[in-house]
Amino acid sequence: MHHLGHSGETKEMFQAQSHLYSLTSIFVSSMSLKCAVQLRIPDVINDHKQPITLLELASALRIHPSKTTCLHRLIRVLVHLNVFAETLVPKHGGGGEEEEVKAYVLTPSSSLLLSDKATGLSPFIVAMLDPALVAPWHFLGDWLQGNRENDCSNKLISPFEAAHGLNLWDYGGQNPEFGRAFNGAMAIDSQMMNLVIKDCKHIFQGLNTLVDVGGGTGTVAKTISEACPGLKCTVLDLPHVVAGLPESENVKFVGGDMFEFIPPSDAILLKLMLHAWSDEDCVKVLRRCREAIAGKNNERGKVIIIDIVISETEDDDAEATATKLFFDMLMMTVVTGRERTKKEWEKLFSEAGFRQHKITPMFGLRSLIEVFP
Ligand SMILES: C[S@@+](CC[C@H](N)C(=O)[O-])C[C@H]1O[C@@H](n2cnc3c(N)ncnc32)[C@H](O)[C@@H]1O
């Protein structure tokens, strides 16, 4: 095809414009995904048991006929983003030669959104795109240029706190619906640990006790205690998060503040915790962890961290690196944390007085880090 305005410089300018327009509208991906999840489109496609046509989907979702083409546009963008896939099926009632129409099926990504699966990520997507978590992004520039905005103890506050007047954890305590959705999202993320725990039982071998610091509603602790029956797990989290949660023989809950006290134990688990805090706070928590595992006869004492390691050169694919960088921005915006490179992790460990550590990449975006006194 002949294009107008394709002299070198003009072409480059239009490419740059297109690039910027693409970046400007990247949020359309997130919001289209959220909409599909809220409409439960993955469940509807799955329940249909065969590829679903647009008209069948519109009817199942009770979409008014005047909006069928709008639904088509939503599905089209999600097919483009590989959330759904397209196939052709015979058109019913077509006379003569068999006519075909487009129909939609799940991809591996949308299969992870089904609500009947314990690993179904739909509530995670809805919670992470809650307006309360999206609003702080509008404050980012002002926040960057602002003075060292501080709370009463002179600590840097996040754009989330600048927007809502409360940090994420207190906001969750004061807005129970948001808090429940957020804790539920974390629990769902943790459900996928079931798939890998059997491969890393050796990490917990020889331990009698484990404290999951910031362990939320205890999903990971339950998974570990089922995989390692002799292991007694304690979940330490904020009082409003653990209040009234049912305990079992091997999983107990303690409400408290990890900056004040961490119950003594053979080992400490920190899953997706330290990335939500500043270096200063992480060193404080790691020192508390060191005290907690310092028992006289605890030769196996260690801190087990499951978190992101930024390694722009070692990731399997560019999407993984981009996601880690996006998460880094997210940690800056909604909490006071950051994602860290190997060197940055090492610095935290040595400042907290640990002498050895081992980093093993695993679980998609996460790595397993074992830290020894
Ligand atoms: C990002 S979530 C991680 C939850 C869990 N480890 C997981 O991976 O599903 C952070 C957790 O830290 C908890 N938390 C926040 N401040 C805390 C504190 N000062 N002491 C203990 N837990 C805290 C939150 O309530 C939340 O459950």
Q: Are residues 227 and 366 in the same domain?
A: yes
Please give the tally of structural domains in the chain.
2
Q: Are residues 242 and 218 in the same domain?
A: yes
Q: Are residues 200 and 248 in the same domain?
A: yes
Helix (H) or strand (E) holding 293: none
Q: Are residues 83 and 132 in the same domain?
A: no
55, 83, 113 — which closes off a domain? 113
Q: Please state the φ and ψ torsions of residue 345, each to the nearest 5 degrees.
A: -65, -45
- CA of 213 from ligand 1 middle (Å) equals 7
- Residue 73 has a pLDDT of 98
> Helices marked H in 7-113 — which ranges?
8-24, 27-38, 41-48, 54-60, 68-80, 108-111
CA 41 centroid distance within chain: 21
CA–CA separation, 166 and 159 (whole Å): 10
**Per the domain annotation, does 274 fall within a domain?**
yes
Q: Are residues 83 and 153 in the same domain?
A: no
- Residue 148 has a pLDDT of 58
**Per the domain annotation, does 2 fall within a domain?**
no
Ligand 1 neighbours (beta carbon < 6 A): 169, 186, 189-190, 214-216, 236-238, 241, 257-259, 271-273, 276
Q: Are residues 295 and 318 in the same domain?
A: yes
pTM for the model: 0.90
**Catalytic residue IDs:** 275
Which CATH number covers residue 12? 1.10.10.10
**Per the domain annotation, does 121 fall within a domain?**
no
**Per the domain annotation, does 316 fall within a domain?**
yes
- Residue 192 has a pLDDT of 79
What stretches in the chain show pLDDT beneath 70?
1-6, 93-97, 147-154, 312-316, 363
Give the mutation target among 192, 238, 285, 308 for probing the ligand 1 site: most ligand atoms within 8 A of CB.
Answer: 238
Q: Are residues 68 and 145 in the same domain?
A: no
**Per the domain annotation, does 322 fall within a domain?**
yes
Proportion of the chain above pLDDT 70, given as a percent = 93
The atom of ligand 1 lying closest to the CA of 272 is: 8
Q: Are residues 140 and 262 in the same domain?
A: yes
47, 81, 113 — which closes off a domain? 113
Domain of 24 in residue numbering reads as 8-113
113, 141, 157 — which closes off a domain? 113
- Computed over every residue of the chain, the mean pLDDT equals 91
- Residue 108 has a pLDDT of 96
Alpha-carbon distances of 102 from 32, 51, 71, 86, 186, rounded to whole Å: 20, 9, 14, 6, 36
Proportion of the chain above pLDDT 90, given as a percent = 75
- CA of 22 from ligand 1 middle (Å) equals 35
- Residue 200 has a pLDDT of 82
Give the mutation target among 182, 189, 210, 258 for probing the ligand 1 site: most ligand atoms within 8 A of CB.
Answer: 258
CA–CA separation, 172 and 144 (whole Å): 24
pLDDT single digits (tens) 303-359? 999 999 998 666 667 788 889 999 999 999 999 999 999 999 999 999 999 999 999
Tokens (6 digits) for 75: 């599905």
**Per the domain annotation, does 14 fall within a domain?**
yes
The atom of ligand 1 lying closest to the CA of 258 is: 20
> How crowded is residue 312: how many other Cβ atoms within 10 Å of its Cβ?
12
Atom 14 of ligand 1, residue of closest alpha carbon: 214
**Per the domain annotation, does 203 fall within a domain?**
yes
Q: Are residues 20 and 163 in the same domain?
A: no
Give the dihedral sign, CA 93/98/101/105: positive
- CA of 238 from ligand 1 middle (Å) equals 7
Q: Are residues 206 and 59 in the same domain?
A: no
Which CATH number covers residue 201? 3.40.50.150
- Residue 96 has a pLDDT of 55
Q: Are residues 72 and 213 in the same domain?
A: no
**Per the domain annotation, does 290 fall within a domain?**
yes
Angle, helices 342-351 vs 279-292, to 10°: value is 50
> How crowded is residue 353: how many other Cβ atoms within 10 Å of its Cβ?
12
- CA of 281 from ligand 1 middle (Å) equals 13
- Residue 94 has a pLDDT of 53
Q: Are residues 57 and 164 in the same domain?
A: no
